[in-house]
A and B are shown apart, each in its own frame.
Chain A
Amino acid sequence: MSSQTLSPETAAARETPARRRRRVDRLPYLLLLPALVIIGVLLLWPLGQVVVMSFYRLNTVRQLRGDREWPWVGLGNYADILSDPFFLTVLRNTVLFAAANVLLTMVLGTLVGLLLNRLGRKMATFVASCVMLAWATPALTGTIVWKWIFDDTSGLVTWLFNALPDGLSTSLFGRSDWTGYGWFNSPLLFFAILTLVVVWHSFPFIAVSVLAGLKSVPSELHEAARVDGASPWRVFWKITFPLLRPVFGILIVLSTIWDFKVFTQQFVLAGGTQDRPTFMLAIYSYAEAFSPPPKYGLGAAIAVILTLILLMVTGFYVRMVLRQEDES
């Protein structure tokens, strides 16, 4: 901190009003300086740098350190990615996964928020505390526990399926012995479990935000509608939803952004970056860049594509929210 700006009181007392005002004008910028430098160097510069890197062929750490040439390839990395049929698989995985997770998280979170609003005081506190536990649990350990629950020998789910009557299990799934069943082996099942883990982690935030929104809405409106005989479904869509529309808009944007770049849960559940059929953009970018042989330029290009998609999502929703506000 600069001693010049925060001088002892004797100096302040001697200053003329004009001098004091001029000094005060500089003070906020000095206070902001460290934060600006850090954000600039650690967030904005890398954001620009990732675009620059995507135009080069960078396959060694020496190039990154600046000891070797950076061969310019223009849009070559993008051409490589877009012409690879595997990219389509990754894109489809990413979009479908994000869409399913946003939908499920929003529906479950909203339902739980509505439920918490209707429960008695004690019950609501209890349920909210449990919901907070899921929220507070780190992505890493939360995923590890789910992996244990789906363990193929002693996991709880394996036991549950083994406990089904053999006849029923065979007629439904074609097998009665589930010990050793690889829950994570088929991509579809893998995505289903990943969805379970991600929704479990993210619905509490939606529930608590919706609850906070509901608390800010005068309850007379709901009561009046209910007295008039409106069904809960109609009350939600005709009263609750329109009133909370800005909240929902923001929650959908945030969920979309989070679910598009899921990494930790997938990395832990898949046990690394080897399970290519289940790749989504974030892990694809990481694997291309850091799994040997490293391709930093290609990974950077994928990261740019991911960022552009997220920018479009954000822009789209911002425009939608603004337009709705214009209309109303």
Chain B
Amino acid sequence: MKKVALNGAGLLVALFAAFPVYWMISTSLKPSSEIFSATPQPVPTHPTLAHYREILTGNLIPGVSFLDFFLNSALVAVSTVVLSGLVALLAATAVARFRFKLRTSFLIMLLVVQMIPLEALVIPLFLMIQRLGLYNTLPSLILTYLGFSLPFAVWMLRGFVAAVPKELEEAAAIDGASRAQIFRRVLFPLVAPGLVATSIFSFITAWNELIFALTFINDQGSYTLPVAMTFFFGRDDTNWGPVMAASTLFTLPVIIFFLLVQRRMVSGLVAGAVKG
């Protein structure tokens, strides 16, 4: 009896949590007549890819298609990931492998910096972007997201670097490997899974961001996907079919990446690397 109540509560929670995602995908697959019918259909009775075809082949503004916005977003996110991963790996190695004077101060600063409300930085960063002549360019966003994702990336990677047994590096050093070789051949391959996990977090930060993209980009052709979606779909009497198709295409990479990280975090990183 108690078990039934618990399972019932579990199902309710699952329904509440997953329903909007289900409804987004389900709506995107319904023909418009079903979407706007008086009685909503729980599942698409005549599934169609028409809305996907519409947004993928048509132009949202003359000369610019959904795919262009998708590519803008991907370019910004991937650049952010590469830069942030590289810089974070160096910093994480420093704090995980060395004892130096300012180490603790740096770690505390990393924590404090993550508490800064980014919403409060729109205005000063807008000023900086204007002065650097980067207004209306995608690099303005790459730079901004690099700053936002870095503290967390260093914080997360630090754990992965620390998890690599020092003995491996010492063994390599005894075998005559240089620092560069140790870094490249020993540390890097073992930290790679952690780097993937960290990269995914940076990617999601950059991919999802709206306010800064809204503020720094004026030219419609350079819009990222979130800005394009608020701009073109945020109007009255919205055509929900294409909107849900676009939302699904925007959301799916994030959900897939997110679930990947969840697994990565759990899996043992260097299990079996050091055996006596």
Interface of A is mostly: helix
Check B243–A64 contact: CB distance below 8 A.
no
Check A64–B130 contact: CB distance below 8 A.
yes
CB-defined contacts of B273 to chain A, threshold 8 Å? none
The complex places the Cα of A123 from the Cα of B12 at a distance, in Å, of 12
Interface of B is mostly: helix
Q: Which of B49-57, B58-66, B208-216 contacts A (4 or more CB under 8 A)?
A: B208-216
Check B250–A141 contact: CB distance below 8 A.
yes
Check A138–B207 contact: CB distance below 8 A.
yes
Could you give, for residues 31-43 of chain A, a 1 whenever the CB lies within 8 Å of some chain B CB and a 0 otherwise? 1101110110111
Could you give, for residues 63-90 of chain B, a 1 whenever the CB lies within 8 Å of some chain A CB and a 0 otherwise? 0000000000000000000000001101
The complex places the Cα of A66 from the Cα of B144 at a distance, in Å, of 21
Check A41–B10 contact: CB distance below 8 A.
no
The complex places the Cα of A264 from the Cα of B23 at a distance, in Å, of 21
Check A153–B24 contact: CB distance below 8 A.
no
Could you give, for residues 111-149 of chain A, a 1 whenever the CB lies within 8 Å of some chain B CB and a 0 otherwise? 010011011100110110011111111111110111011
Q: Known contacts A39-B147, A53-B127, A145-B23; is A32 also within 8 Å of B178 by CB?
A: no
Could you give, for residues 1-38 of chain B, a 1 whenever the CB lies within 8 Å of some chain A CB and a 0 otherwise? 00100110111011111101101100100000001111
Size category of the binding interface on chain A: 35 or more
The complex places the Cα of A83 from the Cα of B218 at a distance, in Å, of 34
Number of interface residues of B (CB under 8 A): 93
Docked complex: B154-209 residues within 8 A CB-CB of A: 154, 176-181, 183, 204, 207-208
CB-defined contacts of A35 to chain B, threshold 8 Å? 87-88, 90-91, 150, 154
Question: Quick one: closest B residue to A289, CB to CB?
Answer: B123
Check B91–A32 contact: CB distance below 8 A.
yes
CB-defined contacts of B271 to chain A, threshold 8 Å? none
Q: Which of A95-103, A217-225, A299-307 contacts B (4 or more CB under 8 A)?
A: A299-307
Q: A310 on the interface (CB 8 Å rule)?
A: yes
Q: Known contacts A61-B130, A136-B254, A145-B20; is A27 also within 8 Å of B14 by CB?
A: no
CB-defined contacts of B250 to chain A, threshold 8 Å? 138, 140-141
CB-defined contacts of B272 to chain A, threshold 8 Å? none
The complex places the Cα of A290 from the Cα of B259 at a distance, in Å, of 37
**Smallest CB separation, B199 vs chain A (Å):** 16
Check A144–B88 contact: CB distance below 8 A.
no
Q: Known contacts A46-B121, A132-B262; is A6 also within 8 Å of B180 by CB?
A: yes
Q: Which of A31, A132, A139, A289 has the most CB of B within 10 A?
A: A31
**Smallest CB separation, B91 vs chain A (Å):** 4
Check A31–B94 contact: CB distance below 8 A.
yes
Q: Known contacts A42-B144, A64-B130, A286-B122; is A310 also within 8 Å of B113 by CB?
A: no
Q: B119 on the interface (CB 8 Å rule)?
A: yes
The complex places the Cα of A219 from the Cα of B185 at a distance, in Å, of 44
Q: A267 on the interface (CB 8 Å rule)?
A: yes
Q: Known contacts A7-B178, A39-B151; is A257 also within 8 Å of B115 by CB?
A: yes
- 22 A-B pairs with CB atoms under 8 Å apart are A6-B183, A13-B176, A27-B94, A38-B146, A38-B147, A42-B125, A47-B120, A116-B10, A127-B10, A136-B254, A141-B24, A145-B244, A148-B243, A260-B117, A267-B230, A271-B234, A285-B122, A289-B126, A296-B127, A299-B123, A303-B121, A307-B117
Q: A42-B143, A135-B258, A289-B126 are in contact. List 18 more A-B contacts (CB 8 A).
A: A31-B90, A42-B125, A42-B147, A45-B128, A50-B124, A64-B131, A115-B6, A123-B7, A141-B248, A148-B243, A154-B35, A156-B23, A159-B38, A200-B20, A264-B210, A264-B211, A286-B119, A290-B215
